[in-house]
Amino acid sequence: MRFEQQVAVVTGGASGIGRALVQRFVAEGAAVVAVDVVEGPLQALVAEQREKGARITGVTANVALDGDIERMLTAATSAYGRLDVLCNNAGVMDMMTPAADVSLEQWDRVLSINLNGPFLACRRAIPIMLAQGGGSIVNTASEAALRGGAAGTPYTVSKHGLLGLTRSIAFFYGERGIRCNAVCPGGVATNIGLGGAAPNQEGLARVMPVIQAAAPTHVAAPEEIAAAISFLASREASNINGAILAVDHGWSAV
């Protein structure tokens, strides 16, 4: 099994891609710390996996808060003694809002979860990984990291920034045993939405035709993204560092 004796932390683990990832890591032998801001579904997943014999810990945490990040990483090292894999996967959409209409609250919310969160987690995970000789980080970016017309401004900026974080960490820490890569999913059938809020009508009218025209009919299952993330996280990808992998059924090839 690819992750035998390894410890993986997955943020956004209660739903969608993160949930599929938690299940995959468990199935491949890892001890897993599943992290989510929503407690009920997280604890249900943990209970379900424990019943099957998994080594799994659930941590209710908001990735935008440094104290919560510290707590989730301490959960990994105190329960399982190490940290091999960090998957910065938690994320929220914006409301398809073009820059001039973005409220500061919306900007802060999306950037703090989608970009500050992965930065805070990497900042604290890297010293742990360096002390044990290495590790692997995989960030869940998006098609919106590759183009300007797949979401509103905050989400697009946050995911472009996440690619910068990925490459910078790959550059600075690759030679010391830490690999950092990113995936850019296209459309995936998950619970991500516009947060219950009304979308920006202008943004929606501009973005939807682009998505409908460019995105092939295939909407991925979360497991298809989890397969790519777990490959990048694994030692099979030992020579892959700083890569940005489109997992979008060809959307970015259009």
Ligand X SMILES: NC(=O)c1ccc[n+]([C@@H]2O[C@H](COP(=O)([O-])OP(=O)(O)OC[C@H]3O[C@@H](n4cnc5c(N)ncnc54)[C@H](O)[C@@H]3O)[C@@H](O)[C@H]2O)c1
Give the burial string for 99-118 (b: 16+ CB within 10 Å, else e). eeebeeebbebbbbbbbbbb
Pick between residue 113 and residue 165 the one whose CB is nearest to ligand X. Answer: 113
Question: Is residue 118 near ligand X by the rule CB under 6 A?
Answer: no
**Distance (Å, whole) CA 80 – CA 88:** 19
**Distance (Å, whole) CA 222 – CA 183:** 13
Closest approach, Cβ 5 to ligand X, in A, equals 27
Pick between residue 38 and residue 131 the one whose CB is nearest to ligand X. Answer: 38
Taking residues 123 to 142 in sequence order and writing x for each that binds ligand X by CB under 6 A, - otherwise, the string is -----------------x-x
Closest approach, Cβ 187 to ligand X, in A, equals 5
Question: Is residue 187 near ligand X by the rule CB under 6 A?
Answer: yes
Pick between residue 83 and residue 225 the one whose CB is nearest to ligand X. Answer: 225
Secondary-structure percent of the chain, ordered helix, strand, coil, rounded to 5: 50, 15, 35
Cα R_g (the chain), whole angstroms = 17
Candidate list 14, 111, 138, 169; residue touching ligand X; CB under 6 A: 14
Question: Is residue 37 near ligand X by the rule CB under 6 A?
Answer: yes
Which span (12-20, 49-57, 123-131, 194-202) binds ligand X, by CB under 6 A?
Answer: 12-20
CB atoms within 10 A of CB 219: 13
- Among 3, 25, 80, 155, the active-site one is 155
CA 20 distance to own-chain centroid: 12
Pick between residue 14 and residue 169 the one whose CB is nearest to ligand X. Answer: 14
Return the residues of window 209-238 that contact ligand X according to CB under 6 A: 222
Closest approach, Cβ 37 to ligand X, in A, equals 4
Catalytic residue check, 80: no
Pick between residue 177 and residue 227 the one whose CB is nearest to ligand X. Answer: 227
Alpha carbon separation from 54 to 33, 43, 138, 234 (Å, rounded): 11, 13, 22, 19
Alpha carbon separation from 19 to 95, 230, 234 (Å, rounded): 24, 13, 18
**In DSSP terms, which residues pair with 245 in a beta bridge?**
183
**Distance (Å, whole) CA 167 – CA 9:** 20
**Binding residues for ligand X (CB under 6 A):** 11-12, 14-18, 36-38, 62-64, 89-92, 113, 140, 142, 185, 187-188, 190-192, 222
Catalytic positions, written as ranges: 155
